[in-house]
Amino acid sequence: MPLHNILLALILAAFTAMPVFAADTGGNDTEDAMEEARSQINSENWTAALATLSGVVADDPSNADALNLMGYASRKSGALDQAEQFYNAALAIDPNHLGALEYQGELFIMTGRIDMAKANLEKLTALCGGCEEQADLAEALADAGA
């Protein structure tokens, strides 16, 4: 079984098995790990970013931002099925997560599901008007000729 499938299984198991508490489980460690993951993403070090983010999600399974970035790193590394699962998990936690809606829309474009990408664009337009996420997805659709 490829390493990314094992990692995904561990993350999803932790995500579904751990209780969610009302108290904030984040903090400086989470913020530091998220900053490190963003740096790894900026360096296109997808494997390291996924490892860092998996630690964040293990500590805080309801961290939609970390799950969204796991989707992004997975998509950029070519693991499109895993990316979709991470975006779905992020959106299950926060159905209005702007970044997950944008990135999921870009995944839909990559996989030929233009109508679904357009639905994400419509939702982004309703949520934030002309925000960066909405503009980026609109541009991606235009670039795809949609």
User: What pLDDT sits at residue 146?
Assistant: 87
Is 7 in contact with 54 (CB distance < 8 Å)?
yes
Whether the Cβ atoms of residue 69 and residue 41 lie closer than 8 Å to each other = yes
Looking at the fold, whether 65 and 119 belong to one and the same domain comes out as no
Please give the pLDDT value at position 27: 53
Q: Which of 60, 79, 95 is the last residue of a domain?
A: 95
Q: Which residue range(s) make up the domain with 105?
A: 98-146
Look up the pTM and report it. Answer: 0.80
Q: What are the start-end ranges of the H helices in the chain?
A: 3-17, 28-42, 46-59, 64-76, 80-93, 98-110, 114-128, 132-143
User: What's the pLDDT tens digit per position in 88-146?
Assistant: 999 999 999 999 999 999 999 999 999 999 999 999 999 998 899 999 999 999 999 98
pLDDT tens string 27-51: 578 999 999 999 999 999 999 999 9
What CATH number does residue 41 fall under?
1.25.40.10
* Domain tally, the chain: 2
Are 41 and 72 a contacting pair, CB within 8 Å? yes
Q: Give the model's pLDDT for residue 134.
A: 97
Give the pLDDT mean for 76-86.
98
| Better-scored residue on pLDDT, 20 or 43 | 43
Helices 3-17 and 46-59 sit at what angle, rounded to 10 degrees? 20
